[in-house]
Amino acid sequence: MKFSYFPGCTDHSSSLEYGLSTHEVFKALGVELVEIEDWNCCGAAATHSLNRLLSLCLPARNISKAQSAQAGPLAVPCAGCFSYLKRAENVLKNDEAGRKEIEEIVGFTYQPSLEILALVDVILNRIGLEKVQEKVKKPLNGLKVACYYGCALVRHPKITQLDDPENPQYLDRLMKSLGAEPVEWSYKVDCCGADLAMTYPKVVKKMVGKIVSMAKEAGAQCITTSCGLCQMNLEMRQDVGLPIFYFTELMGVALDVEKKENWWKRHLISPKGLLKSSGLL
């Protein structure tokens, strides 16, 4: 099985451990990820704020690269990149005048057959949880996890076409299959504040504070997410010391892949204490 892969800018920077863990997990699952050639920033999360056309053309160039690669559906780890790519896809598919304008600016012909999938969707619906379960070496021992989806994976549901926008279950199902115990809580799709963190950190502190304290109140020992910006905000703007994992990191623990130490040292809140006390390290 093979997918083309769009790492996104934060793969080299603020969500380094997301990319590293993704590659190890996919290696363990025996699924190939082919990085698309010379990809560019998809434009998330600020381009749409000032220039709609640019926010459609930047992801469209990546769509054109994925088409030429012919390496299968495009798998996208970052939720922000995923939503930008899906917004462009929506225009390319459903708005003829918009499609022509984008095609002309970017210089390509859109092929609607290219599928754009969030990484969690690839794991659940293409690889399948049975296959994941087969590879589990160290079940997560009932680790209590709050699955945090944020905005970009599930909204707008007509664009992302992924899971329920108010009570999504994808990450919960994945965590269960690894032996963890996802908690029921009400803040799984609340916004973390996104890039307001740079200009209004105090506002984001309040927003993140609510999310993290509600996760804790629901009994969670940690939070898991699939978005680089969410992960950074949740780690950086909380006071309670709750570890924030990318879902691929928890998969990596359960599949007992190599080089995990290289992920833990990137975290602002070290998850090692929790992993040790849960018998997972």
Partner 1 sequence: MTSAGKVDSSFLKEVEKRSGEKLSLCYQCLKCTAGCPTAPYMDFRPNNIVRMIQMGMRKEVMESSAIWFCVYCQTCGTRCPNEIHIGILMDTLREMAMEEGFHAKEKNIHLFHEAFIHSVGRGGRAHEVTMLMEYMLKSRDLMADSLFPGVILFLKGKFPLLPSLVHGKEEIKKIFERCTKEK
Chain residues binding partner 1 by CB under 8 A are: 9-10, 12-16, 38-41, 43, 45-54, 57-58, 61, 105-107, 151, 155-157, 165, 189-191, 193-203, 205, 207, 232, 236, 265-266, 268
CB-based contact 57:100 (threshold 8 Å): no
Please identify, using beta-carbon distances, which residue of 47 and 224 lies nearer to partner 1: 47
Tell me the C-alpha to C-alpha distance, in Å, between residue 22 and each of 1, 124, 137.
15, 14, 17
Please identify, using beta-carbon distances, which residue of 60 and 175 lies nearer to partner 1: 60
Bridge partners (DSSP) of residue 244 are 223
Q: How far is the CB of 11 from partner 1 (least distance, A)?
A: 9
Please identify, using beta-carbon distances, which residue of 27 and 156 lies nearer to partner 1: 156
Please identify, using beta-carbon distances, which residue of 61 and 216 lies nearer to partner 1: 61
Q: How far is the CB of 43 from partner 1 (least distance, A)?
A: 7
Q: How far is the CB of 146 from partner 1 (least distance, A)?
A: 18
Distance (Å, whole) CA 119 – CA 249: 13
Q: How far is the CB of 161 from partner 1 (least distance, A)?
A: 13
Q: How far is the CB of 50 from partner 1 (least distance, A)?
A: 5
Distance (Å, whole) CA 37 – CA 64: 10
**Long-range contacts of residues 272-280, Cβ cutoff 8 Å, at least 24 apart:** 274/143, 274/221, 274/222, 274/243, 278/140, 278/141, 278/143, 278/221, 279/141, 280/138, 280/140, 280/141, 280/143, 280/253
Please identify, using beta-carbon distances, which residue of 170 and 254 lies nearer to partner 1: 170
Handedness of CA 45, 46, 50, 56 (dihedral sign): negative
Please identify, using beta-carbon distances, which residue of 28 and 207 lies nearer to partner 1: 207
Q: How far is the CB of 246 from partner 1 (least distance, A)?
A: 13
For residue 14, how many C-alpha atoms fall within 13 Å in the half-sphere facing its CB? 13
Q: How far is the CB of 177 from partner 1 (least distance, A)?
A: 27
Please identify, using beta-carbon distances, which residue of 126 and 272 lies nearer to partner 1: 272
